[in-house]
Amino acid sequence: MEKVNIPNFKLNNGRDIPALGFGTWLGLNDEAIFDTTDLPKLLDTLSYAIDIGYRHIDTAHHYRVEPDVGEAINKKIKEGVVKREELYVTTKVWHHFHRAEDVEVSVRASLRRLNLDYVDLVLMHWPMSITEEGVDEKIDYLETWRGFENVLEKGLTKAIGVSNFNVEQLKRLIANSKVVPASNQIEVNLNFGQKELVDFCQANKIVVVAYSPFGTMVPSRSTPDSPEPKLDNPTMVAIAEKHGKSVIQVTLRYLYQRGIISIPKTLSKSRALENASIFDFVLDKDDVKTIGEFDIGYRTVRPVFWQDYANYPFDKIDEKMEIPSELLKWKNGANLDIE
């Protein structure tokens, strides 16, 4: 079995975090319904990924898969493939748990579902606070962060961070907290480089983790009006051929050279291997400049249904949408029957 060797970045708490991870968000289907049909494939690929050398696994309460991801992790530990301390496991706290005391409730529930004694990183999934009924609680994320500092102090997690925070929110959080976030997980891809936010994070020793690192490049995310590059883009294909790599690998390498961690999700073992085989080549200055020209500020993930909620972190657009019911209340696991 071919193995991969994924290097680490250093967090501001001195701990290492692998520079590439395995994402576990299955997403909602066209009817905005969560579907577990692909979960067996995801878990099979995750198990393979651990076998070949992946050590960074990204999940969340909201992804509904914590019990199954935890089972895959524990199986690999039991088989002797990996030790718990060699794995980097991230989970996240959802909108419903933004009171300081509820953060611990959420993290302990995630640990129970994952069947782990601790996670390596827990993130505030979004800065907004919304009830299971869709009511804006308007809880200050500074209060929520006190809960995060508490679970860190109790050893339930080795690090705490945020997700989907903008520059102003990070500035305010840093100025009013004991613990600076270890990371900010945000959308970053070739169309959406987020230079100002990435620069701010890196200047403040906050590691950037990119979700949706391919943006609309992959067919499943592509829309009729979505911009280039796609997988067959001639410019990207030429750069890939020059290095004997794929367009996917060039994309992930570009983000890595910006000092950004990517957490692509895949249901394919061959793609898992491909995604992690990016540490044996270097994009030169011309490559970087050319690829940088695709950055046109195009956001792939835009939850307009949250636009009117307090602490919504993105620019607003003139569009209205109801919150999908799947984002309000759910159960976890393959059969969606685990609290």
Q: Which residues are catalytic?
A: 63
* 3-state secondary structure string across the chain: CCCCCCCEEECCCCCEEECECEECCCCECCCCCECCCCHHHHHHHHHHHHHHCCCEEECCHHHCCHHHHHHHHHHHHHCCCCCHHHCEEEEEECHHHCCHHHHHHHHHHHHHHHCCCCECEEEECCCCCECCCCCECCCCHHHHHHHHHHHHHCCCECCEEEECCCHHHHHHHHHCCCCCCCEEEEECCCCCCCHHHHHHHHHCCCEEEEECCCCCCCCCCCCCCCCCCCCCCHHHHHHHHHHCCCHHHHHHHHHHHCCCEECCCCCCHHHHHHHHCCCCCCCCHHHHHHHHCCCCCCCCCCCHHHCCCCCCCCCCCCCCCCCCHHHCCCCECCCCCEC
